[in-house]
Amino acid sequence: MLLEVLNSVFSFQILLFIVLGVFTGICIGALPGLTATMGVALVLPLTFGMEAIPGILLLIGVYVGAIYGGSISAILLRTPGTPAAAATVLDGFEFSKRGESGRALGISTVSSFIGGVVSVLALWLISPQLAKLALRFSAPEFFLLAVFGLSIIASISGNSLAKGVLCGALGITLSFIGIDSITGYPRFTFNNINLLSGMSFIPVMIGLFAMSQAFTTVEKIFTPDQVTQKISKVWPTRSDWKVILKHAPISGVIGTIIGIVPGAGAEIGAFVSYGQAKRMSKHPERFGTGIPEGIAAPEAGNNGVTGGALIPMLTMGVPGDAVAAILIGALTVQGLQPGPLLFTEHTTLVYSIFLGMFVANIAMLLLGLSSLKLFVKVLSVPKAILTPMIFVLCVVGSYAINTNFFDVGVMLFFGILGYFMQKADVSVSPAVLGLILGPMAESNFRRALLMSEGSYTIFIASPIAWVFLFLTLLTLLGPLVGDALKKKKSTM
Amino acid sequence: MKKANFIVSGVFAAFAIFIIAISMGYPPSNHGVPGPGMFPILIASLILISALVLAIQTLRMPKSKDTAIDLKSKNVLNVYITMAGLIVYIVLMPMIGFIVATSIMLVLYIKWFSKRPWWKCILISVVFTIAIFLLFGSVLNVPMRFGLLI
Amino acid sequence: MKKLLVLLVLLSLVLGSAFAQGTAETATVSYPTGPVSVIVPYSAGGGTDLVARALVDAAKGSFPKNISVENRTGGGGAVGMSYGANAKPDGSVITMITVELVTLPHTGTGAGLYYDQFKPIMMVNSAYSAVTVQANSPYNTLKEFLDAAKTKTMRVGNSGVGAIWHLAAAGLGKAANVTFNHIPFDGAAPAITSLLGGHIDAITVSYSEVASQVAAGNMKVLAVLAPERIAATPNIPTAKELGYDVAIGTWRGLGVPKDTPQPIVDKITSIFTEAAKAESFVKFMNGSNNIIDILDSAAYGKKLAADNELFKALITELGLKQQ
């Protein structure tokens, strides 16, 4: 068995496919508007004519690469290449402002690798046990998970909590637009067909982050560039390694667990990891100013999701996220049914996927580290030329997601809005978080009550629900209790 | 800063009232299951409360923390012109076609921002536009052909 | 400046591959005269998208000037189908039309879409609802399940409110004179997961979507809501034979704008009829549990009209019409 697996992965052809997949994934991930899901879907038809193992490993390579690749544009251009990198923007872009983009990319690459490896190990060693966890999640648990995620708004609000809540609530309100998923009632659509399916998340994100930043750059477009990027060292320093080794493995575990939960993807894994790192930190106030923890945690978190998402897929035939859903399609086309039988009937394939995914993470590390200097070169383009090019990337990126010009208008609207929000010192990230988690919270709250026929006890009926309730209260009340304790100490 | 905070709080409060007004007309709850209007009203109320908190915090903010926000200097006017130009660009692009509209947009902005000679601006713009067109259109299969020209 | 040049050269290198794809064959027929696009109103990688891509792949030899799949998503399919219905009637835009064409107009979210805006080319595939419960469920037949539903409110999961599997469950409830507690999910997969976890009592999604769970012994199908037994599963009875007169399912097919000239329609029909017989397409459909179900233009047109009436009545009765 072992030999078969080693043979099937360590052949020139398979290794080549993995590396090609990872490379394609990094490029797709780095381009704004092209998500990991789209990347995998674009490559999928190529695998129809292939054998099962190379085909699926090519797709997994794209997946792993794309989740990592999103951080490159997030750090360099404040443009999250994929939603998974939205949390990386917070600290990552601050590094580039200081001219330390090389350092930031190095931390991101190594952390992504660690997160990925942690999740592959979990997939390899304990996936059957973990898989059962996925089935324990029903509507009330999803609702409480979303609320827990939203409580992170408290830690990414910048200077004013009130402004953070305003902005987060704005994001949730945007998510109401479109057909209500529980009753089918069209809300805030104003009879516009483009609003029926709701506000597209990617154009809003590109507008709020990238376009608003480009406008801010225009303010100083005629003053010469002052920051020169230090690209000499991308390999993290000793002190950075300390931070990475402290945070990346934990975030990898968090990401893996988020990945297992069906319907919660890499973007949520990244934000939850960021919030966790901030809670653990001795200096939470420095998050958002460009510290290594702010990159290590979300990047390890989102790549941790990659392995986690495959756990329910391989063990039960249930997708952990949108990419896993496509991978199920890819396996069925090959005549393979993901599910419990896959482990017993196609053992070689399953273990080849584990090993191949491990190799994909190594390929990501090597490709990442060797090409970082090339990526940083983007920033050596003078901003007077780079800024208009970013305009084009924002426009094409938001068009590409649905091939709809309406989305381009949405992007520009939120770009302008984001610019003025920055002026008023309102952090935009809570809006993105609200847009991601709002629908999950609302639909599952109402679905839970539909299932329980109106009884609210369903929200405290399971141990998982209690865990999330406890974590949420801890996040919201923890700082208050901490302050009170400090005061008590100082008066004593 | 104070003025900006009051504007933020006022705009959000107005927005919240607008949301609540619309949501009131949505179908009611059904057998204990909240209807489509409940969450919008709940979240809009949260916006109202936060806007109020922000307004009170700002009132009590010491003068020393009150920093000026630049909305009228020449640099900011450049941003407004840029925004206007981009609005024109995205309105016209679907009619004109991607390559022509984007090349022209890029040439004008790069010339304005960088003051490089025209031929350099045109070269950079056209090469970049075609590169993006081919990357998204041919390699990634995003339909990029629309409009009268290319 | 030098660095900028380096960047541009790099970009061009990456893009060089794009040029390699161009093929130059000469067209010998009057159709197609230019590139053709097939509109898929759902996102890339989904069930409808995969069937469309496989079919287009099998037909691409007949399109020397290139044929490509375009995903135009939004409005539960309304955006893409409206785009396709209002395209130039010259065969340059073919649309993958699905059952939502005859359900969305009645739920009030079709944004002006109506089935007569299309001239049907052919139906390609169909899938009927399968009433599925957990393997360890106490109900072994449809009758036991429906009789139990008279005293206990059954939670039946579907793929979205007003979506076809919701209508299927509602149609079954109507035929058996029981009321279900319909639980909508965002797509079929989360509904299946929820049944697997025992959080709901049954689901009414298509057989192909639960086939792997049935094979693994996690779920059992009580009946299919099909007019006849499905060839792949001859042991599963239809609801009709059990005395509940209901047959509801989804289908996918091709359509062109209604003003398209007949010669072009005939040409497209013959191209895709051939493509649907291609070995690669048949293999794909069987491998992915999709049932090939070909109807020609006339028969498909009749089905569109009949289903339109069926769903109009059902949706009105369920009170699913919005605004």
Whether pLDDT at C14 is above 70? no
Output the pLDDT for position C99.
Answer: 92
Lowest pLDDT segment from A182-191, A224-233, A356-365: A224-233
Q: Search chain C and give the residue with CA nearest A44.
A: C45
Whether pLDDT at C12 is above 70? no
Answer yes or no: do C143 and C197 share one domain: yes
Percent over 90 (pLDDT), chain C: 41
Distance CA(A155)–CA(A298), nearest Å, equals 14
Report how far apart the first and last C-alpha atoms of chain B are (Å, whole number): 47
Query: C71 lies in a domain?
Result: yes
Band of the pLDDT at C16, cuts 50, 70, 90? Answer: very low
Answer yes or no: do C108 and C170 share one domain: no
Output the pLDDT for position C22.
Answer: 37
Q: Do B27 and A218 touch (CB under 8 A)?
A: no
Cis bond before residue B40 (omega within 30° of 0): no
Answer yes or no: do C219 and C266 share one domain: no
Output the pLDDT for position B97.
Answer: 92
Q: Search chain B and give the residue with CA nearest C39.
A: B143
Q: What is the DSSP string of A186-206?
A: EES-TT-GGGTT---HHHHHH
Q: Search chain C and give the residue with CA nearest A336.
A: C287
Output the pLDDT for position A107.
Answer: 94
Nearest Cβ partner for B136 among A176, A396, A454: A396
The whole-number average pLDDT for the span C110-128 is 88
Whether pLDDT at C20 is above 50? no
Query: C27 lies in a domain?
Result: no
Q: Do C21 and B127 touch (CB under 8 A)?
A: no
Q: Which chains touch B (3 or more CB pairs under 8 A)?
A: A, C
> Which among B81, B105, B95 is positioned nearest to B146, based on CA atoms?
B95
Query: What's the mean per-residue pLDDT of chain A?
Result: 86
| Cβ atoms of C195 and C157 closer than 8 Å | yes
**Chain A, window 149-208: residues with a beta carbon less than 8 angstroms from a chain C beta carbon:** 179-186, 193-194, 196-197
Answer yes or no: do C255 and C106 share one domain: yes
Whether pLDDT at C15 is above 50? no
Answer yes or no: do C84 and C152 share one domain: no
Output the pLDDT for position A230.
Answer: 66
> Which among C186, C197, C202 is positioned nearest to A138, based on CA atoms?
C197
The string of pLDDT tens digits covering residues A333-353 is: 777 777 777 777 788 888 899
Q: Do A451 and C199 touch (CB under 8 A)?
A: yes
Higher pLDDT, A7 or A23: A23
Q: Side by side, which strands form the sheet with C181-184?
A: C181-184, C155-158, C202-203, C130-134, C219-224
The string of pLDDT tens digits covering residues B27-59 is: 888 777 888 999 999 999 999 999 999 999 988
Band of the pLDDT at A231, cuts 50, 70, 90? Answer: low
Query: What's the mean per-residue pLDDT of chain C?
Result: 84
The string of pLDDT tens digits covering residues A82-121 is: 889 989 998 999 998 888 888 999 999 999 999 999 999 9
Lowest pLDDT segment from A65-69, A334-338, C67-71: A334-338
> Which among A316, A305, A321 is positioned nearest to A263, based on CA atoms?
A321
Answer yes or no: do C135 and C220 share one domain: yes
CB burial of residue B100 (10 Å; 0-12, 13-18, 19+): middle
User: How many folded domains does chain C comprise?
Assistant: 2
Distance CA(A305)–CA(A266), nearest Å, equals 5
What ipTM describes this predicted complex? 0.94
Residue whose structure tokens are 């489509």: B36
Whether pLDDT at C320 is above 90? no
Output the pLDDT for position B30.
Answer: 79
Q: Please report, to the nearest 10 degrees, the dihedral formed by the alpha carbons of residues C111, C117, C122, C126 taken in order.
A: 30
Q: Do C216 and A339 touch (CB under 8 A)?
A: yes
Residue C57, chain A, CB below 8 Å: the answer is yes
User: How many folded domains does chain A comprise?
Assistant: 1
> Which among C285, C212, C287 is positioned nearest to C252, based on CA atoms?
C285
Answer yes or no: do C205 and C270 share one domain: no
CB pairs under 8 A between A and B: 162
- How far out from the chain centre does Cα A61 lie? 16
Q: Do B141 and C4 touch (CB under 8 A)?
A: no
Chain A neighbors of B1, CB-CB under 8 A: 425
Output the pLDDT for position C121.
Answer: 93
For A334, residues 6+ apart whose C-beta sits below 8 A from its C-beta are: A52, A55, A56, C287
Q: Do A222 and B113 touch (CB under 8 A)?
A: yes
Output the pLDDT for position A213.
Answer: 87
Percent over 70 (pLDDT), chain A: 95
Band of the pLDDT at A225, cuts 50, 70, 90? Answer: low
Distance CA(A151)–CA(A166), nearest Å, equals 13
The whole-number average pLDDT for the span A196-216 is 86
Residue C54, chain A, CB below 8 Å: the answer is yes
Q: Looking at mean pLDDT, say which of A286-300, B52-66, B127-141 comes out highest.
A: A286-300
Nearest Cβ partner for B54 among A162, A183, A405: A162
| Cβ atoms of C180 and A281 closer than 8 Å | no
**Chain A, window 225-254: residues with a beta carbon less than 8 angstroms from a chain C beta carbon:** none
Higher pLDDT, C109 or A446: A446
Output the pLDDT for position C279.
Answer: 87
Output the pLDDT for position B144.
Answer: 80
Q: Do B128 and C12 touch (CB under 8 A)?
A: no
From chain C, which residues contact B within 8 Å (Cβ)? 4, 8, 11-12, 14-15, 17-19, 21, 37, 68-70
Chain C neighbors of A318, CB-CB under 8 A: 189, 192-193, 196
Output the pLDDT for position C163.
Answer: 86
Answer yes or no: do C113 and C145 share one domain: no
The length of chain A in residues reads 492
Nearest Cβ partner for A388 among B53, B110, B142: B110
Output the pLDDT for position C222.
Answer: 95
For C126, residues 6+ apart whose C-beta sits below 8 A from its C-beta are: C249, C250, C251, C252, C291, C293
Answer yes or no: do C280 and C144 share one domain: no
Nearest Cβ partner for C322 among A185, A197, A316: A185
Domain boundary among C175, C209, C224: C224
Band of the pLDDT at C5, cuts 50, 70, 90? Answer: low
Half-sphere exposure of A315 (CA within 13 A, CB side): 25
The whole-number average pLDDT for the span C195-219 is 89
Q: Search chain A and give the residue with CA nearest B112.
A: A384
Q: Which DSSP category does C186 fall into? A: S
Distance CA(A100)–CA(A89), nearest Å, equals 14
Higher pLDDT, C222 or A213: C222
Residue A446, chain B, CB below 8 Å: the answer is yes
The string of pLDDT tens digits covering residues A460-474 is: 999 999 998 998 888
Output the pLDDT for position C11.
Answer: 52
**Chain A, window 16-35: residues with a beta carbon less than 8 angstroms from a chain C beta carbon:** 27
Domain with C313, as residue range(s), is 34-124+250-318
From chain B, which residues contact C within 8 Å (Cβ)? 124, 127-128, 131, 134-135, 138-139, 141, 143
Q: Do A176 and B40 touch (CB under 8 A)?
A: yes
The string of pLDDT tens digits covering residues C250-287 is: 999 999 999 999 989 999 999 999 999 998 889 888 87
Output the pLDDT for position C1.
Answer: 47
Lowest pLDDT segment from A185-189, A192-196, A338-342: A338-342
Query: What's the mean per-residue pLDDT of chain B?
Result: 89
Domain with A453, as residue range(s), is 2-491
Band of the pLDDT at C142, cuts 50, 70, 90? Answer: very high
Output the pLDDT for position A253.
Answer: 94
CA distance C162 to chain B (A): 15
Answer yes or no: do C266 and C211 share one domain: no
Nearest Cβ partner for A166 among B36, B50, B115: B50
Q: Do C287 and A334 touch (CB under 8 A)?
A: yes
Output the pLDDT for position A485.
Answer: 67
The string of pLDDT tens digits covering residues A383-442 is: 899 899 989 989 998 888 777 889 999 999 999 999 999 888 888 888 988 988 888 899
